[in-house]
A and B are shown apart, each in its own frame.
Chain A
Amino acid sequence: MAKEMGQLNEEKVFKDPVHRYIHVRDELIWRLIGTREFQRLRRIRQLGTTYLTFHGAEHSRFSHSLGVYEITRRIIEVFHKRPHWNEEERMLVLSAALLHDIGHGPFSHSFEKVFGVDHEDYTRAILLGETEVNEVLRMQGSDFPKKVAEVIEKTYHDKLVVSMISSQIDADRMDYLLRDAYFTGVSYGNFDLERILRVMRPMEDGAVIKASGMHAVEDYIMSRYQMYWQVYFHPVTRSAEVILSKILHRAKDLYQEGYTFKQDLTHFRSLFEGEITLEDYIKLDEGVMQYYFQIWLEEEDGILRDLCRRFLDRKLFKYSEMVSVSEVLKLSGYLEEAGIDPKYYLVIDSSSDLPYDFYRPGEKEERLPINLLKANGEVRELSRESDVVEAISGKRRTDHKLYYPADLIEKIDDSQLKRKIKHILKKDERDLR
């Protein structure tokens, strides 16, 4: 097949709907793709519960990871033989690009919150522990796995290398915007990737964009802004996420209360007991989770059964704009009075995004700015050159919503209590204070 961890005798290609082809010439990359930990990413959706809103969003973290690798590979081609780019870092940055999401669990946002785990810790554990990924990485050098972990954790000494994977215009974001737009079927996530790649240049503190490419970057930032509010924070998706999180909460609470489940909880036991091993973690994927949601439909516990049914049959919670805290607490009391446990049936969910920002000394979001390289060699921060970006720079948009089961509220017999609940839910954001 190939020489020892060098180039493959023959280039391998993956067909990809976003980049057309993903090219693999390095044996290291080919072997990493073949590891069980990387193959597991096929069974984890890139957008979690978004498929319940946009039915096309079934794509996996596997395809996204290949996409990030491909964009990084193309950036390296542009950087080749240019000042500040060290060709010796090539395999490091390609490996980090490919493996940046390796530690993600199934439906990771809710999963991590409920079980108090962190995908970054599992990324590190998979890279450095006794895994197939680690075995392959070590063939490149004994300290190579550690370096890959540092790049992904953003603590590697070479800022240019880190910025290619994690910055405000990096291979990760560029792939997920295009891929998520493609699979959800929305039109606003698109931008001219080809143009951005052609105008990227390496500098000591990170990649910069030739000033002539400013409009392509403006388009990328606006795409990002649109995707966050039209896709990522879609209230229906958030509702599914809220229910998913409550299923996991309920199952965990029941386990801790000593409830006897009808079926054995093989995959969840160590999680519920807070002693999850790396091997247990790797075994979990969305197929496993969905299997449990199916069997929990047969459980005696009404809340667990109801939440699983809602998730599987897409009978989601309704939402309204956030009301004041005192009214939320009042609402919580009314629901309890009506026999609807607010712990599982009343949720406040907030979404917030900052489309672009630049670092202001000592304050703000600590983001690395996008810099433009002018023809005279001067480097200027993007929002100082672009009126479009300046208009949205540093402007955070936040949305708070209240999720509740409208169908259960409708069924409340006590009409006075029902009226009080509905009265609060009809209030809007103007009553926030």
Chain B
Amino acid sequence: MSLVVYYSSATGNTHSFVDRLGVRALRIESKGESPILDEPYILVIPTYSDNEGRDAVPKAVVHFLNYPENRALIRAVIAGGNRNFGAMYALSGSVIAQKCQVPCLYCFELRGTDDDVYHVRRRLNIFWKQKC
């Protein structure tokens, strides 16, 4: 199965979600060099937006996507967040979808429920079948 690239802060929410997906995954670290990829991937990231929607995408993910090679290989995005933030809920997903012109496949809250994991696994399967 295909690759998931993700970012998770010290709370480990996104890490836990990706871990439970049980797919091949690569973590973008908050410090140090960005990895440069040579195969297509799906990005899974949390949201850290302020009230105006600024800085929704974690800085390390911005650095990662600044490499044209990485931008060229992204196929879809999945975003975490919290509905308590109203219209800013999982905003990083729509920001990436717009900038990279890829679909946002799913949004989940915090570390996601088992139901979220089930739905994402299903969607990932269908998505990669369509792509291949």
Q: Are A and B genuine complex partners?
A: no
Which chain A residues have a beta carbon within 8 Å of chain B's beta carbons?
none
